[in-house]
Structure 1
Amino acid sequence: MFLHTLITTLLLLLLPRQALSQTTLTNPVIWQDHPDLDVFRIGHTFYYSSSTFAYSPGAPLLRSFDLANWEAVTHSVPYLNFSPANAYNLTSGSRAYVKGIWASTLRYRPSTDTFYWLGCIDGSKTHIWTSPGGNARQNGGEVPPQAWNWSPRPVISNCYYDAGLFFDDNDDSQVYVAYGNTQIRMAQLVVDQNGDLKEVRNQVVYTSGDMTLEGARLYKRNGEYYVWVTRPADAQFVLRGKSPWGPFERRVLVDRIGGPLSSAGFAHQGGIVDTEDGRWFYLGFLDAYPGGRIPVAAPLTWGGDGWPIVVRDGGNGWGRTYPLPVNTTRKVNVLGPRVDEFKGGKLGPEWEWNHNPDNGKWSLSDGLVLKTATVTGDLFAARNTLTHRIVGPKSRGTFRIDVGAMRDGDRAGAVLFRDKAAYIGIHKTGNTASIVMVDNLNLVEGSWTTSSTGRVAATGPSVTGEIWLRIQADITPAFGTNTGRQVIFSYSTDGRTFTNLGPAFAMSNSWRYFTGYRYGVFNFATKALGGEVKVKSFAMEMV
């Protein structure tokens, strides 16, 4: 126990912080799955919003002071208040895999000190959440953790697909949303006395013909309006006009340019942001499965004709490194390796549940208590699986779990979670809790129904109390290849010596599930509710 505490303390001391001597930005800027990004700045603070599909809470918000080091601070959608509720709650046999929060948008309205998040859900209505009162404008954009106060607002009965929200910098009562697929539309909104958004005008401002364009973001520079749109999944285009209503001209920004990683896609579908001293940067993402879609950044210049230009490397590609955008002494808890002992009153912002959790079946009490929340034989149908993005290119996630309160028929463990999944865990049969490695858990691509609930590929010894379960994952990009990156599962009964169990698992490189692989921890019943486990720690380390 002393050794484990010492190791944990050392890891906590080694947690990455923003390095004060750092002089470069290295791509990928975050080696985690954070796609469909929307980026903006308030004072000296940069914010980055991302999509999460059926994970809850949704729409994570990241923060940075230099565009190179990012930390998670909150989620704009604390729970998925979408219809049908049973699908997002994983109840009544329904589910919402690959639904939910796609490319959404988030901006700050200075005059009322309010953050607005907008997202079209399932092709129907646009949901809105706001967080007021953080005093961001007066504090250089910084919001204290306790000041985030997200609440749902009335929906708009129109789908703002792949939207870009914009409060005009001259008068933030002038509100616009650029959105659409191939037909790019502009909606004008007003903010009523309650702070709610209502549409007052809507029209098509650009049509791309037979070429798909989507992922709209709206900006204003030197009195002109720019709509950034992507050709999925390999190019970024820019529309430019003197009015939000056009007419718009179109130029190519990047089209299938190489780098900065091999066996990954091309940088596309992003946004731009300026620094306090007037320099601009473009952030996009790469398809980098099995890890997902990961962000990259590059400086942006403006030609004498007012069109933007991405700064490339010596080989005319996307640079692996660039000079650090901002030199600052402000620190962040950089996304990446970390130790979490599940202390305090709430989960950290790096964690997301598979669908909305049953909040009556989990708690934080000197660890994370997971009571069984579902009776099922299907992990994909079980509530309260808690997930964490994997850091690349190679890492391992280790869960320390007390399984002493499991009941007959319960199944708990550490899962490599995606539509093609595997886990190492505990199956309780009668009074015996056996360590198992299970693979071949599969969803049907497209319908996302379960085609296989898994097979026990290997069995280890029985346990009675604490167990350390480890997943070691190589998410080096293998997109567009037949290479299945390997995952190794292992266990330990003392936290020091680990034993591999089962065959290596080959991850899927398919993009159709959209999100990348995640580490996860679960506990469900196959016979009756009542059992529980306590997750005492999670450690994610580079290997």
Structure 2
Amino acid sequence: MSWLHHEHSRRKALATATGLIAGAAVPVAAGYPAAASPAGGAATAPSAAAQYANPVLWQDFADIDIIRVGDTYYYSASTMHYSPGAPILRSYDLVNWEFAGHSVPVLDFGSKYDLSGARGYVKGIWASSLAYRPRNRTFYWLGCIEFAKSYIYTAPSVEGPWSRLTTINNAYYDAGLLIDDDDTMYVSYGNTTISVAQLSADGRTQVRAQQVFNTPSSVGTLEGSRFYKINGNYYIFLTRPANGQYILKSTSGPFGPYTMREVLLNLRGPVSGGGVPHQGGLVQTQNGTWHYMAFVDSYPGGRIPVLAPITWTSDGWPVLQLVNGAWGASYPSPLPTRQVAPMTGVDTFDGTTLKPKWEWNHNPDNSKWSVDNGLTLRTATVTNDLYWARNTLTHRIQGPTSTATVQLDHSTMRDGDRAGLALLRDSSAWIGLKRDGGATRVVMVNGLTMDGNWNTTGTGTEAAGANVSGGRIWLRANADIRPGAPRSATFSYSTDGTNFTRLGPAFTMGNDWRFFMGYRYAIFNYATQALGGSVRVTRFELATP
């Protein structure tokens, strides 16, 4: 496969309704457990005019696989080199989503994911699949790592604990996992040449595999499989990156033969300046209606989910419901609204564990950080390159614009230490503290860059600085991630938490899609001389606009 195909493959957004109900309108799938009560309490019934707006979530959650278990929806996404990997979101109405957990607790696929001798940027968790198996009431995650091997993780609930079930020495590229009515497990996968594998009853090995479809040259590349059984037919939902969506249908079983139909091509999307909605998956509500969750390329913020209703032709093909010839900016709400934990707000790092909205840049050194009603980051790496620094903790940026503020105690930093708040991607900038010669300065640094092979080409240049005293500071980054110009971010600081001072020039965020992941707010602390220093983060706030 070409690198272009690989990179576009990452545009994998969305869903496998694994365990989809076979009938058109069945209240609850047989064998599915009742979902837990939502945090927000009783549902609010939509009025006849109730609408939702696209994107349903303005954060970077690409390659989504979406399923329903009972009356609860789960959505899995790609995370590349971030750890833990494969986050799972939860919703009760397909519109409001909250973090639930991660399917891959540690990226234990080689030392590069520990930033040990090598780096895993733009590797790791690509398009993968989430499914629920009613027979044993178990969730399954399946993904292919670096075009080499496939891994399956399982858990009794999405919150975990997740553990590796097996490693399969077959590369199920862009896997879609289907658990059939008779409990047989199948995987659809591939780029252009699409294949189906059957797994053993315990899911640990491959029993059979064969090619089922070869994409016509007139279409080009198809990938991003999602595999369904609906009304007795088998469907493989595929993307043509990054501007189309196609579907294959078999009336003769999972191994075909399959016929193809176009679902969308070059369709105008609902995000101004963004790309064509594509990839993703189908899901049926407990009320029998069908919906398609796709993603829109919206750099510098990443790939963000959009939702639209689906109807079916009499001969079993899905039809996307358009608004004035485009993917609608809004549609009637599919279900009563259920409130969930907000994606913005304050985290005081209460308790002794990180919340699932946080992901590390590569695997952390767990001996160098702790949470105990506050986050302590001890220096874990001696380097002058943020891209090599371990224990950099990241949070997705909320669009279209948002502000992140951290309260940081720097009284135990040591000479040579660097700590602060970054806008992290292959072109980065940060505001933070430099401790040198016993003195502490607050600085804004830009010019942190990588090349197309994700090697560091710039470690940063101090663009502005000021002396600070005392042991506590507030650092702030504001990011406008609307696709298109100006893609601007600014940095500021405060010594009292109220009055903020702008520091440094505006930073123009990059929008090259090849890094795939969007910008993130990132909290870091690394040493340039020797380990031993630390900082304590007592508060993080993500606010809009």
* Inter-partner Cα distance in structure 2 for 1:16 and 1:26: 20
* Inter-partner Cα distance in structure 1 for 2:375 and 2:43: 31
Matched, 1:240 2:240: no
Q: 2:260 matched to which residue of 1?
A: 250
Q: 2:444 matched to which residue of 1?
A: 437
Structure 2 counterparts to residues 125-524 of structure 1, below 5 A: 125-132=149-156, 134=157, 145=159, 148-168=160-180, 170-172=181-183, 174-192=184-202, 196-210=203-217, 211-242=220-251, 243-313=253-323, 315-328=324-337, 330-335=338-343, 337-445=344-452, 447-478=453-484, 483-524=485-526
SS of 1:387's partner is strand
Q: 1:542 matched to which residue of 2?
A: 544
Q: 2:72 matched to which residue of 1?
A: 45
Aligned residue pair count: 501
Matched, 1:115 2:123: no
Q: 1:20 matched to which residue of 2?
A: 44
* Inter-partner Cα distance in structure 2 for 1:60 and 1:434: 36
SS of 1:512's partner is helix
* Inter-partner Cα distance in structure 2 for 1:29 and 1:76: 22
| Per-residue Cα deviation, 1:64-123 (whole angstroms, up to 9, x for no partner) | 0000100010000011011xx22000113x100000000000101111111110110001
- Asked if 2 retains the 8 angstrom alpha-carbon contact of 1:18 and 1:334, the reply is no
| Residue identity opposite 2:423 in structure 1 | L
Q: 1:532 matched to which residue of 2?
A: 534
- Asked if 1 retains the 8 angstrom alpha-carbon contact of 2:40 and 2:339, the reply is no
Q: 2:130 matched to which residue of 1?
A: 106
Q: 1:66 matched to which residue of 2?
A: 93
* Inter-partner Cα distance in structure 2 for 1:489 and 1:312: 41
| Residue identity opposite 1:239 in structure 2 | L
* Inter-partner Cα distance in structure 2 for 1:49 and 1:280: 18
SS of 1:396's partner is strand
* Inter-partner Cα distance in structure 1 for 2:42 and 2:392: 31
Q: 2:113 matched to which residue of 1?
A: 88
* Inter-partner Cα distance in structure 1 for 2:204 and 2:270: 40
* Inter-partner Cα distance in structure 2 for 1:532 and 1:215: 43
Q: 1:340 to 1:283 in 2, by over 3 A?
A: same
SS of 1:463's partner is coil
* Inter-partner Cα distance in structure 2 for 1:189 and 1:432: 61
* Inter-partner Cα distance in structure 1 for 2:207 and 2:524: 46
- Asked if 2 retains the 8 angstrom alpha-carbon contact of 1:60 and 1:74, the reply is yes
* Inter-partner Cα distance in structure 2 for 1:516 and 1:16: 29
* Inter-partner Cα distance in structure 1 for 2:42 and 2:450: 39
Tell me whether 459-468 or 295-304 shows the greater mean CA deviation: 459-468
* Inter-partner Cα distance in structure 1 for 2:43 and 2:542: 20
Q: 1:9 matched to which residue of 2?
A: none
Q: 1:255 to 1:18 in 2, by over 3 A?
A: farther
Cα offset, 1:277, TM superposition? 1.4
- Asked if 2 retains the 8 angstrom alpha-carbon contact of 1:175 and 1:188, the reply is yes
| Residue identity opposite 2:163 in structure 1 | S
Matched, 1:35 2:47: no
SS of 1:360's partner is helix
| Residue identity opposite 2:362 in structure 1 | H
Cα offset, 1:153, TM superposition? 1.9
Q: 1:71 to 1:260 in 2, by over 3 A?
A: same
* Inter-partner Cα distance in structure 2 for 1:78 and 1:293: 23
* Inter-partner Cα distance in structure 2 for 1:537 and 1:17: 27
* Inter-partner Cα distance in structure 2 for 1:280 and 1:391: 28
* Inter-partner Cα distance in structure 1 for 2:102 and 2:461: 35
Cα offset, 1:366, TM superposition? 2.4
- Asked if 2 retains the 8 angstrom alpha-carbon contact of 1:301 and 1:310, the reply is yes
- Asked if 2 retains the 8 angstrom alpha-carbon contact of 1:441 and 1:454, the reply is yes
2:104 aligned residue (65, 72, 77)? 77
* Inter-partner Cα distance in structure 1 for 2:41 and 2:442: 36
SS of 1:87's partner is helix
| Residue identity opposite 1:477 in structure 2 | P
- Asked if 2 retains the 8 angstrom alpha-carbon contact of 1:398 and 1:539, the reply is yes
* Inter-partner Cα distance in structure 2 for 1:30 and 1:516: 14
- Asked if 2 retains the 8 angstrom alpha-carbon contact of 1:99 and 1:121, the reply is yes
* Inter-partner Cα distance in structure 2 for 1:18 and 1:415: 39
Q: Structure 1: where are the runs of 5+ without partners? A: 1-14, 135-142
* Inter-partner Cα distance in structure 2 for 1:69 and 1:127: 30
Cα offset, 1:484, TM superposition? 4.0
Cα offset, 1:191, TM superposition? 2.5
Cα offset, 1:463, TM superposition? 2.9
SS of 1:434's partner is strand
* Inter-partner Cα distance in structure 2 for 1:518 and 1:308: 35
| Per-residue Cα deviation, 1:283-320 (whole angstroms, up to 9, x for no partner) | 0000000000001000000011211001111x110001
What TM-score do the two structures reach when normalised by structure 2? 0.90
* Inter-partner Cα distance in structure 2 for 1:285 and 1:296: 6
- Asked if 2 retains the 8 angstrom alpha-carbon contact of 1:49 and 1:61, the reply is yes
* Inter-partner Cα distance in structure 1 for 2:524 and 2:43: 35
